[in-house]
Amino acid sequence: MLQVVLNDDHLTSVLGEALSGCRHRLLIATANVKDLHVPIATFDPGGSAGRPRGAESILQVFEALAERNIEIRLLHGGVPSGPFLKHLKQNVPRTLIMRRCPRMHVKTVIADGRWMYLGSANLTGAGLGAKSPHRRNFEAGLCTDDLALIDPVADMLDRVWNGLECNNCGRRDQCPVPLEEPQL
C-alpha cells in the first residue's frame, strides 16, 4: 500500500490511522511540536461516523495510548511550544519519552514498525490540518505499509534516538546535552 496524503487529509489519514491502529509502539519525528488539538472522532474508533465530539490535546491522546500500554517516542528538533510544555508539566503520559535533537527535521509517524507516514507535516495544528482551511499549511506526504520503505527510516531514527549520530554531529556546539529530554 502506498497512499498520497494532501493538506487537511493528514489529520485523518495520518493521525487517525496511526493512533487507532497502533498496538505497541508509536514513533513520531518532527521538527516542531505544538499543543495540537484533534477532533475526538479522529482517534476514537468508537466515534459516531467520524463526527467530532469535541477536541482534545495531543497530550490527552498520548495519555489514552499510555492507558493501552503503547510506548510513545517523540523525537523533535525544536523546543516545544509554551502551551504544550504547560500541559506536559501537568501530566506526563507514563509511556511517553521525548528527546530533542536540533538537527531533527524529519516528519514521520511509524506505528508498530508496520505502517508509516513520511512527508512535510510537523506535529502542529497547521501542519496536520486541525486548523481551519484558511489557517492550515499546504502539506504532502505518503503513507505505506511497505517494510522496504519503513525499515530504513525507522533504522535511521533509531540511530538518532540512541545517540549513535552524536559523535559525528557537526552541530555539537548547539547541542551541549545530546538527545536532551524536556526539563519539567
Residue 180 is assigned to a structural domain of this protein: no
Statement: the pTM of the whole predicted model exceeds 0.75: yes
Residue 6 is assigned to a structural domain of this protein: yes
Residue 178 is assigned to a structural domain of this protein: no
pLDDT of res. 181: 58
Residue 136 is assigned to a structural domain of this protein: yes
Which one, of 22, 16, 37, lies nearest residue 130 by Cα? Answer: 37
Which one, of 85, 152, 89, lies nearest residue 118 by Cα? Answer: 152
pLDDT of res. 128: 75
CATH of the domain at 83: 3.30.870.10
Pairing of strands 25-30, 71-76: parallel
Tally of structural domains, the chain: 1
Do residues 63 and 17 touch, judged by C-beta distance below 8 A? no
pLDDT of res. 21: 85
Low-confidence ranges of the chain (pLDDT < 50): 45-52, 184
d(CA 19, CA 66): 11
Residue 168 is assigned to a structural domain of this protein: no
Residue 13 is assigned to a structural domain of this protein: yes
Q: Which residues contact 105 (CB under 8 A, 6 or more apart)?
A: 31, 77
d(CA 154, CA 145): 13
pLDDT of res. 51: 41
